[in-house]
Amino acid sequence: MEILNDSYYMNLALELAAKASGQTGINPVVGCVVVKDGRIIGVGTHLKRGTGHAEVHALQMAGDEAEGATVYVTLEPCSHYGKTPPCCERIINAKAARVVVATTDPNPQVAGRGIARLREEGIEVEVGLLEEQSRSMNEKFNKYITSRLPYVTLKTASTLDGKIASHTGDSRWITGSAAREQVHTLRHQHEAIMVGIGTLLADDPQLTTRAAVPAIHPVRIIVDSKLRLPQDARVVTDGLSRTIVLASAKADPAREKALTEAGVEVIRCGDGEQVELAEAMRKLGELEIGSILLEGGGKLNGAMLEAGLIDKIMIYMATKIIGGFDSPGTFTFAGFEKMSQAIELDNAKVEMAGEDICISGYPVYGNE
């Protein structure tokens, strides 16, 4: 019986969803598998915002055979008209007998309504199979859809003694090729990459994705309070992706005009000399930027952490020690008075990336 293989089919649906990570913008990644009489008759993945959802693709493949079938889907089928029609109606019209859902949709426009609609039509619905895996896969979407704030992942590379460069500023390369390849995958999986102006002035990076497979270049976000970004910087001239500069209210209007004419978007945040980062996150969320990979220097990392704006931390640590009284560190901010106030990482994981160590976790704010 199919019920004995529910986990197998849901795992397959999750694998399908994972393949589209980085392609769906502010939409979730979703996979769907349609099964009848122990045979897979349809599979689908949500590939791009504004196009058919996973259920639509899978049911189109199944055709008339979908009648009486079981539909496995990693996220609750939508019940509202958005850029596409509601998926629950597509399942109802296909006359599926049973739907297995990994997790409910946190979108307030759905939030259980899709499941209720299916049950109204007499379709058997089971919810919660491999729920944790599905929620983890869509952690960026889950935050953005409920708060309209971007999900921020901090990625940094450091030595064992916590240095992100030598005392001369040299940082090529702290980590090895395996870690660097993973970083390009991370760039593909986020809608934007954010750095401070110091990084731009020092390295003139393109901030693009050079993954092993073709990837979508992220939006480039530069925190540049005084609008020091040169008009000949590669993020201005290469035309590979959108570039946004976050500036203070007091930055020179003439420099804003020059950058705007060069195709850069300038967003002023706060009333003071520095960019107000919380306001910046709100404004970026309004632009429908749902996820950001923060690759800042110590000061920007520290300011974002101190403001409680980082959702996930990934530190790639090389087994090297470089020392230096003036070598920059991973986080530079005033710091806490007591160890009991330190920010800890929840659900921390330690994995290898080639010869380097990746420590990841979710910062817990507000410790005593």
What are the residue numbers of the active site?
55
Return the structure tokens found at 263: 């195709």
Contact 196, 297 (CB under 8 A): yes
Neighbours of 83 (CB within 10 A): 9
Burial class (CB in 10 A: 0-12, 13-18, 19+), 272: exposed
* 266 secondary structure, DSSP code: E
Question: Using CA atoms, how far apart are residues 368 and 352, in angstroms rounded to an integer?
Answer: 32
Question: Using CA atoms, how far apart are residues 229 and 296, in angstroms rounded to an integer?
Answer: 15
Q: What are phi and psi of 323, to 5 degrees?
A: 65, -165
Return the structure tokens found at 161: 């003694």
Return the structure tokens found at 298: 């110590």
Helix (H) or strand (E) segment spanning residue 249: none
* 219 secondary structure, DSSP code: E
Burial class (CB in 10 A: 0-12, 13-18, 19+), 117: buried
* 3-class secondary-structure state, position 6: helix
Question: Using CA atoms, how far apart are residues 181 and 132, in angstroms rounded to an integer?
Answer: 27
Question: Using CA atoms, how far apart are residues 282 and 265, in angstroms rounded to an integer?
Answer: 16
Contact 269, 248 (CB under 8 A): yes
